Amino acid sequence: MRKKILIVEDEEEFFFFYETMLEDRDYIILHATDGVQAFELLKKEKPDIVILDLLLDQMSGDEFFRQLRSNPTYTNIPVIIASNFSPRSYKTIFEIDPNLIFLEKPFTQERLLAEIKAKLR
C-alpha cells in the first residue's frame, strides 16, 4: 500500500522539490500551504507522515505541531520539520516530542529520504 505524505509548505520551490523527489518513489503527496489547510487534509486523508515548514501564514508550523500533538487522534503521526531556522530557535517543540526530526534547509535529498524511510518503518 502506498504511503501518504502530507507536506505543509508555502514556498512553491520547496514543495516542487519534495513533490518531484517523492512521487518518483511511489508516495502519495498531499499539500497544504498552512496549518489550517493541513488539519483539513489530516481529517480527510489520514497521512502516514508530515513534512512541516515552521514559517507559514494563518497558522504557523509550530502552532500546527502543538495542536497536532495535543490531539490523541494524531499523536502517532511522525513529523519531520524542515525549516530555514535553527532547531535552537524552536527548542520548546522538542519538549513536546523529543523524537522529532528537524532538518535545517537546505538539506540533501538523501537525508530527507533516509529520515522518511526511518520514520515509516
Q: Tell me which residue range forms the domain holding 70.
A: 4-119
| Residue 96 pLDDT > 70 | no
Number of domains in the chain: 1
| Residue 92 pLDDT > 90 | no
Alpha carbon distance 43, 54 (integer Å): 20
Indicate the residue type of 95.
E
DSSP 27: P
What CATH number should be reported for the domain holding residue 106? 3.40.50.2300
> What confidence tens digit (pLDDT) does each residue in 17-74 have?
999 889 889 899 999 999 999 999 999 999 999 999 988 888 888 899 889 999 999 9
Q: CA of 34: how far to CAs of 38, 109, 110, in Å? A: 6, 23, 26
Other CB atoms within a 10 A radius of the CB of residue 87 amount to 15
